[in-house]
Chain A
Amino acid sequence: MADYLMIESRDPFDSSDVANFLALAEGLSKAGNKVTLFLVQNGVLPARHGARSAPLAVLAANGVEVLADSFSLSERGISANRLIPGIKAAPLDLVVDRLAAGCRALWH
């Protein structure tokens, strides 16, 4: 069992391969690993209600910690109360925390 930090910078409207990255997160979690999915840049767009957010909701409900960069949210005018249940806003510092802790980090 390992700790994974998966950083999603793309949104599903622009990049169809976001689905593959989320599938990888689901697979790693189901295999017993601790997985954090950190959304940044346009990756935060589907964290809103009704914005192709269903796959993220499923991940969050199945043990993946899903976080959205608070700066990226602010840049796009998305307030924390518009996020779907299971997704929390977090500062980018958390990524550095996890890197320093030795998480296996993947950027997409």
Chain B
Amino acid sequence: MKGKKTLTFLLMDAPFENARTTTALRLIDIAARRGYDINVFAYEGAVYLPFAAQKQHANAVHGHDVVQEDHPLPREWVEAVVLEAAKNGGRVDWVNCGLCVDERGAVDAVAGVRRGSPADFWKMATASDNTLVIATK
């Protein structure tokens, strides 16, 4: 693809906690729709973003069952951007920090996620057109 770009994102926030996660996935989704090659290095709590065991739940306070509540799951967002990038001729290389995974027991991740180390982030950044670090507060 002419003009194809490679962008790297470093994420640190755990899911369900901060709007930074939503904004990060919005940015990645935009890049995926353009068919860019996208690298994501998930550090610390962010390794739970693609955690395969995330489940929807009901909301008794609002009187919603599981279907009515339709609680969004970040693992589905991760799967969606991986598919979207592939559909448009790009790819998402999502690397979970291995030590962060072990500390948290976040071993089971959705398809398209691999294990790595901060050295992978350095390699990704070096090989990219640009890198955005979205650090936690």
Main secondary structure of the interface of A (DSSP, over half): mixed
- Number of B positions contacting A (CB below 8 A): 19
* B30 contacts A96, C-beta separation under 8 Å: yes
Q: What are the interface flags for B2-35 relative to A under an 8 Å C-beta threshold, 1 for contact and 0 otherwise?
A: 0001010000000000011001001100110010
Number of A-B contacts (CB under 8 A): 43
Interface residues on A, range: 10 to 19
Select the stretch in B96-104, B106-114, B128-136 that faces chain A.
B128-136
Q: Which residues of B contact A (CB under 8 A)?
A: 5, 7, 19-20, 23, 26-27, 30-31, 34, 36, 129-135, 137
**Given A96-B30, A96-B31, A100-B7, 19 other A-B residues pairs in contact with their CB atoms under 8 A:** A9-B20, A9-B23, A15-B137, A40-B23, A42-B19, A71-B26, A92-B23, A92-B27, A92-B30, A96-B27, A96-B34, A99-B129, A99-B132, A100-B130, A102-B129, A105-B131, A107-B132, A107-B134, A107-B135
